[in-house]
Copies of this chain bind each other. A is one copy, B any other.
Amino acid sequence: MNKKIIIAVDGMGGDYAPTEIVKGCVQALQDFPLKLLIVGHPEVLKKELSKYTFNEEQLKVIPAYETITNEDSPVAAIRSKKDSSMVIGLRLLKEKKVDAFISAGNTGALLAGGTFLVGRIPKVQRPALAPLIPHKNGFSLLIDCGANVDAKPSYLAQFAYMGSIYMENILNIPNPKIGLVNIGVEKEKGNEVTKAAYQLLEDSPLNFIGNVEARDISYGVADVIVCDAFIGNIILKYTEGFGQSLFDILKEELLKTPLSKIGAFMLKSSFKNIKKRFDYTEYGGAPLLGLQGLVVKAHGSSNHKAIYSAIKQCIRFTEQDIVSKIQNSIIE
C-alpha cells in the first residue's frame, strides 16, 4: 500500500452492533496497516473499545448521536436523521475523508444514502448491490439485489460490466463468465427486458455465456449472475430460506433415533465442512457498485469475522481502484 487506507465503519448498524462490529475492527487493525473510523454513539463505542488494547492513532470514534433502524423508512431516514452513524459515514466518503464505508444496518437506507449522498459515477445509470452467493464449487456475484426492481436493459448491461470488473480484480477470476438469468437458455426466451439485454451483452466485449436458467446457478455456471433487483432479491433470499429449511429438516431427522444420533455425531466434521462451503462471512459484504466511492453492505447478522472480511475486501477494492476501473470501462 502506498498511502494509508482509511475506512469508516457504521458502529451502530446490524443485529450484533456495536459488540461484534467493534471486535471485527480491532482484529483487522492487528493484521493491516489501516486507519479505521468507527461512527456511532461515542459512549457506547468507547465502552466496547475499552475491552481491547489497540493503537489509538489507527482507530478513532466519530460521534453520531442518532441511529437508523431497520424499521425506519429508507429515504425518510436518510433525509431526516442527519446525525445518524450511516449518514455521517456516507458523508465522510462523499468528502473523500475515507476510502470506503461499511454498514450492517438498514439495506434500503444504505442504498438510498449511497446514491443521494455519495453519488453515482458519471455514465453509470444505476448503482447495484452485488452479494456473493454460494454454488457447488465456490461463489458467484449476484447483481443486482438492490433497488432497481424495474430495470431497463441498459442497466442490466452495465451491471454485467461492473460485476465483471469486480470479480476479475477482487476474486482474481480472469475473464469472468457473465450469465443473464432467464427462464430458458435460448436467445429468444424471456420477457422484453431480458431479450433486449441479451442483445446488448452479446454485442459487448464481455465474456457473455448467454442466458442461464435458475437450476444451473447452484452449479456455478457463471461467475457473474445478472438480473434485476426483484429477481436478485428472490434468488438471494430463497437461497437463505431454502438452505436453512433444509438444514432444519436434516437436524430434525438426524436427532430422531439413538442410531441416527450416533451417525450424526460421526459426521460432525463432514457437516462442518459443508457449512464452511456456504460461509459468507469469509467473503465480506455486498459492494454497492457504481458509486463514486466504496459502500459495502455487510449482512444484518454480521459477526466480527464478517466485519473483518468486509474491511479486508475494502482494502483490496481500494488498492485495485475499482471506482476508476468502472469509470473508464463502462459504456452508457
Minimum C-beta distance from A332 to chain B (A): 24
Asked if B277 and A249 make an inter-chain contact with CB atoms under 8 angstroms apart, the answer reads yes
Asked if B264 and A267 make an inter-chain contact with CB atoms under 8 angstroms apart, the answer reads yes
CB of A270 closer than 8 Å to a CB of B: yes
In the complex, what residues of B have CB within 8 A of residue A266's CB? 259-260, 262-263, 266
Bound state CA distance, A270 and B265, in angstroms? 14
Q: How large is the interface on A (under 10, 10 to 19, 20 to 34, 35 or more residues)?
A: 35 or more
Bound state CA distance, A136 and B239, in angstroms? 14
Bound state CA distance, A136 and B136, in angstroms? 22
Query: Chain A, 258-285, contact with B by CB distance < 8 Å: what is the 0/1 string?
Result: 0110111111011101100100000000
In the complex, what residues of B have CB within 8 A of residue A135's CB? 245
CB of A181 closer than 8 Å to a CB of B: yes
Q: A191-B150, A263-B267 are in contact. Are A183 and B230 (CB under 8 A)?
A: yes
Asked if B249 and A183 make an inter-chain contact with CB atoms under 8 angstroms apart, the answer reads no
CB of A331 closer than 8 Å to a CB of B: no
Interface stretch (choices A34-42, A50-58, A166-174, A211-219): A211-219
Cβ-closest chain B residue relative to A151 = B191
Bound state CA distance, A210 and B231, in angstroms? 19
Bound state CA distance, A135 and B246, in angstroms? 9
CB of A33 closer than 8 Å to a CB of B: no
CB of A192 closer than 8 Å to a CB of B: yes
A191: contacting residue among B230, B263, B277, CB under 8 A? B230
Cβ-closest chain B residue relative to A135 = B245
In the complex, what residues of B have CB within 8 A of residue A191's CB? 149-150, 230
Minimum C-beta distance from A222 to chain B (A): 13
Asked if A260 and B249 make an inter-chain contact with CB atoms under 8 angstroms apart, the answer reads no
Asked if A239 and B242 make an inter-chain contact with CB atoms under 8 angstroms apart, the answer reads yes
Bound state CA distance, A200 and B73, in angstroms? 24
CB of A240 closer than 8 Å to a CB of B: yes
Cβ-closest chain B residue relative to A266 = B263
A241: contacting residue among B215, B230, B241, B256, CB under 8 A? B215
A235: contacting residue among B234, B260, B269, CB under 8 A? B234
CB of A201 closer than 8 Å to a CB of B: no
CB of A95 closer than 8 Å to a CB of B: no
Minimum C-beta distance from A82 to chain B (A): 24
Bound state CA distance, A231 and B232, in angstroms? 10
Q: Name which of A233, A235, A248 has the most chain B CB atoms within 10 A of its CB.
A: A233
Bound state CA distance, A260 and B264, in angstroms? 9
In the complex, what residues of B have CB within 8 A of residue A246's CB? 218, 243, 246
CB of A254 closer than 8 Å to a CB of B: yes
